[in-house]
Amino acid sequence: MRFVIAIVLVSTSVAFAAPVIPVPVPDQLKNPWTAEWEKEFQARGEKVLKGMCAKEKANGLGGRTYFENEKRAYGFLMAHAVAGDKDTAIKELQKEDAQAKEWHAATAGIDYYACFTLKHQVRKYFLFGEQFDPKYKQRMFDGAKAWTEKDPLWRPHPAFKKAGDGWGPDVKNSWVDVRGTENLFLMRVTSVYLMAEETGNEETRAKYKETILKYAAALYRVGMGEWDSENYHGHSIAPLLNLFDFSKDGEVRAAAKLCLDYMCAIGAVKYYRGAFNGPTNRDYSHPQPFGGSAPAMLWLYFGDTPLENTAYESDEVHVLTSGYRPPVAVVELARKNFGRPAELFASKPGYSATTGNDQKNPPVYFETQFFGHTFQMGSLVGGTTAGKTAVNGFKVVAADEKRGGIAIQGVPGPDPKFVGSAKYVEGKVSGENRVGQNGNVAVWLVQGGESPWVWVVPESVGVETDKGVTFLKCEGTWVALFPINTGEVKVDDELTKALTGDAKDKTWAGHKVLTAKGSGGKFCGVAVEVGEAGEHKDFAAFKAAVAAKAKVTAKAEFSSAEMTGTSGRKVSLTFEEKVEKTQVERDGNPHDWTAHAKHLYRTADDKPVIEQAWLGGTLTVRAGKNTFTGGVSEKGTATFKNE
C-alpha cells in the first residue's frame, strides 16, 4: 500500500503542497530530527522547487527523451508535478519516448535502458503513477515486467546491430545500460530490483537483492570506490533514495538506509558551508560553493550557509520527496560541531572496490584532512594524479560571510579550467606530484622542474606578495604560498580573461587566475600555510608571523623539502616514485603509511569525530554531543543506533 500525504513546505508567502510521499518511514528506520531542522529543510526545499519551476517550464520538457536526456527533463517535470504546473507536468511525464519503437519496443515503448533515465523513471512510476492515464501506467508495468523477466544486463537486445562506439543497446547488446561507474551501477541495480519486485519477477529480484546487500557490506568494509566525488556523489544518493522509499523488502530497505547514512557521513566530512573540499575522486574542477552534485544535494540536508543553491541538477526532487533524513550526528559533522582544530586521516580504495566487492586489495589513496575554525585543508600524499584521471590531490575551502564557503584550488599544470583534476585529459597535470601535510602546513612537489602552476581563487580574495611569499587574503582565513624552485605566484590577467571571458560559459565568472613557473631542474613546488583569526590577531599579524617564524628549506635538486609554520609545526616531504614509499615527517616523526591504511577514517589526535576500520564493517560518527553507529554484516544485515 502507498499513501498520499500532503506536506506543506513552510513559507511566509507561498504554500507548496507536495502531493505524494512514498510509504512513510517506519520508526525502526528513522533517524530522528528536531522540529527546527525539519522546518529549515522544508524552507530550503521550497526555494529549490520554486527555482526549478522558474528555470524550466513544464510545457515541452517531456519531449526531451533521446537516450538519457530524461536525466534532467524528468527531474524538472517532477518538481513541477510537486509544486508548479502540475497538470502539464503529469502530461509531459507521459510523452512518448523518442526511441519507443526502436530501442524500447520490447518494453512497451518505455525507456528502461539508460541509467540516468532509470533513476528518474522509477521515481516517476512509484510517486506519480496513480495520477497517470491508467493505460500509460499499465504500459510502464508491462514494460518493466518484460524488462525484468530475465536479468536485463547483457541480455541480447533485439535492436543490436554490431559493436561500436556509443552506449546504446544497438552497440552494447544489453537490455540495460552497461556502464560501470559507481553512480551508474547504483542507478541500474536499484532500478532493476524495484521493478522486478513490483512486477513479481522473483528470480531477478532475488539476484539483485543479493547484489545490493553485497554492495552495502562492501561499503562498510572498504569504503566507496567513487569516493567523495564532487561531480557524482549526489547521483549515487538519488537511486538509493528510490530504494529506501519504495522497496517492500525490509532487509533491502534497511541496507538502503545504511548506504544513505554512509554517503551522507562521508559527504559531511568534505561539506563546508555549501562548498565541498578535496581531495576528491572524479573531481571535475568546479568552482565553489555548490560546485557539482555533492554540495548541491547535501545542502538540502546540511544547510549551514547564507547562500541559496541555484545550481539545480534535477536530483534535488528525490531528496525533497523522500522521507529519509540523515543521522543527527552526521548533520553536526557537516556543520563542524566538534572540537576544532582537528585532523583526520582517511584511506580510499581502488575504483571498483565497492561495486566489485573487492575486500582483498588494500587502500590506494591516503588522505590528510585538517579542520580549522574558518577553513578546511585536505590533501593526498599522491597529489593530483597525472594523465587521464580525475583525482584531485589538494584543496582549501574557507568561510565567507556572503557565499558560505569558497575554494582555493591549485594544480601543477598549465590550464586553470582543470585546476581540480585532469578530467581524463592528457597534459593538464604536468607530472607526478606528492603532498606532505601536517595540520595547516603542507609541502607540494611535482616531478618536473619547469612545471607551470596555476591557482584559481574568487576575485574577492586579496593577493599580495611580500619577500617572495604570496598571501591570499580571505575574510578570516589567510593562505601563504612559498615558492620552491619557482617564481613568485602572481595574478595572471591573460589567463584570467581566458578563463572568465567566455560569454557563453560563466562557470568561472567572478574568479581570477594566479600562476608561477618552475625554475628548472627535476622538481619544483610550493609550501603552504593557512592561518586564521583567533590564531592570529589579523591579516597583518599573520604576515608578520610568517616573515618572522615560517621557514622553507629544500634539498637534492628540490626532491625533498621542509616547511616550518608560524606555530612551529613542521612537515617534510621526500619524493618517491611509489606513493606508499613517499617519506613524510610530521614534527620530526615519520608518518607510517601502513598504520594509515588500517583505517578508512581516524582522527590524528584521537578526537572521536568519525571512525571506521579497514574491513571493520562499522562506521561511528560523533559530533554535536550525538553519536551515530552503523554497521552491515558480511551477509548484508544492517543495524544502526542514534545516541
> Residues 114-142: pLDDT tens digits?
999 999 999 999 999 999 999 999 999 99
Q: How confident is the model at residue 366 (pLDDT cuts 50, 70, 90)?
A: very high
- Using alpha carbons, select from 276, 267, 270, 259 the residue that is nearest to residue 324: 259
Say yes or no: 144 and 284 in one domain: yes
Say yes or no: 415 and 273 in one domain: no
Which H helix or E strand runs over 621?
strand 618-623
- Domain carrying residue 204: 7-331
Q: Which residue has the cell 594566479?
A: 514
CA distance 439 to 567: 11
Cell of 614: 579497514
Q: What is the number of structural domains in the chain?
A: 2
pLDDT tens-digit map of 379-402: 999 999 999 999 999 999 999 999
CA distance 554 to 178: 49
Q: Is the pLDDT of residue 584 over 60?
A: yes
Say yes or no: 381 and 320 in one domain: no
Say yes or no: 394 and 293 in one domain: no
pLDDT tens-digit map of 174-229: 999 999 999 999 999 999 999 999 999 999 999 999 999 999 999 999 999 999 99
Non-local (6+) Cβ contacts of 264 within 8 A are 237, 298, 301, 326, 327, 330, 334
Q: How confident is the model at residue 431 (pLDDT cuts 50, 70, 90)?
A: very high
Q: Residue 634 falls within a domain, yes or no?
A: no
Q: How confident is the model at residue 22 (pLDDT cuts 50, 70, 90)?
A: low
Say yes or no: 302 and 440 in one domain: no
- Using alpha carbons, select from 209, 52, 190, 181 the residue that is nearest to residue 112: 190
Say yes or no: 383 and 327 in one domain: no
pLDDT tens-digit map of 529-578: 999 999 999 999 999 999 999 999 999 899 999 999 999 999 999 999 99
**How many CB atoms within 10 Å of residue 146?**
18
Cell of 89: 507536468
Which residue blocks in 59-167 are alpha helix, DSSP H? 70-83, 86-92, 115-128, 134-147
Q: Is the pLDDT of residue 31 over 60?
A: yes
The per-residue pLDDT for 3 is 35
CA distance 251 to 379: 37
Q: Residue 567 falls within a domain, yes or no?
A: yes
Report phi then psi at 292, rounded to 5. Answer: 90, 175
Are 278 and 635 in contact by the 8 Å Cβ rule? The answer is no
Q: Biggest alpha carbon distance in the chain?
A: 78
Q: Residue 340 falls within a domain, yes or no?
A: no
The per-residue pLDDT for 510 is 97
Distances in Å between the alpha carbon of 13 and those of 10, 42, 186, 640? 9, 14, 38, 39
Q: Residue 266 falls within a domain, yes or no?
A: yes
CA distance 23 to 4: 9
Q: How confident is the model at residue 24 (pLDDT cuts 50, 70, 90)?
A: confident
Say yes or no: 137 and 219 in one domain: yes
Say yes or no: 371 and 308 in one domain: no
Cell of 367: 588522505
Say yes or no: 281 and 401 in one domain: no
Question: Residue 312 belongs to a domain with what CATH number?
Answer: 1.50.10
The per-residue pLDDT for 20 is 52
Cell of 523: 622538481
Q: Which residue has the cell 592570529?
A: 536
CA distance 72 to 68: 9
Whole-structure pTM value: 0.96
Are 186 and 263 in contact by the 8 Å Cβ rule? The answer is no
- Using alpha carbons, select from 118, 127, 86 the residue that is nearest to residue 2: 127
Q: Residue 280 falls within a domain, yes or no?
A: yes
Q: Is the pLDDT of residue 609 over 70?
A: yes
Q: Is the pLDDT of residue 11 over 50?
A: no
**How many CB atoms within 10 Å of residue 382?**
21
CA distance 590 to 573: 10
The per-residue pLDDT for 54 is 95
Query: What is the residue-averaged pLDDT of the chain?
Result: 95
Q: Residue 175 falls within a domain, yes or no?
A: yes
Q: Residue 615 falls within a domain, yes or no?
A: no
Residue 476, helix vs strand vs coil: coil
Cell of 80: 513541477
Q: What is the DSSP secondary-structure string of 398-428?
A: EEETTTEEEEEEEESSS-GGGSS--TT-TTS
Domain boundary among 571, 596, 621: 596
Domain boundary among 316, 331, 346: 331
Q: Which residue has the cell 558551508?
A: 273
Residues 259, 212, 256: CA angle, nearest 5 degrees = 30
CA distance 198 to 193: 9
The per-residue pLDDT for 21 is 63
pLDDT tens-digit map of 154-181: 999 999 999 999 999 999 999 999 999 9
Say yes or no: 587 and 510 in one domain: yes
- Using alpha carbons, select from 404, 495, 503, 405 the residue that is nearest to residue 455: 495
Say yes or no: 324 and 381 in one domain: no
Q: Which amino acid is at 563?
A: M
CA distance 603 to 368: 10
Q: Is the pLDDT of residue 19 over 80?
A: no
Domain boundary among 309, 331, 353: 331
DSSP-assigned letter for residue 63: G
Say yes or no: 231 and 150 in one domain: yes
Q: Is the pLDDT of residue 12 over 70?
A: no
CA distance 82 to 320: 10
Q: Residue 380 falls within a domain, yes or no?
A: yes
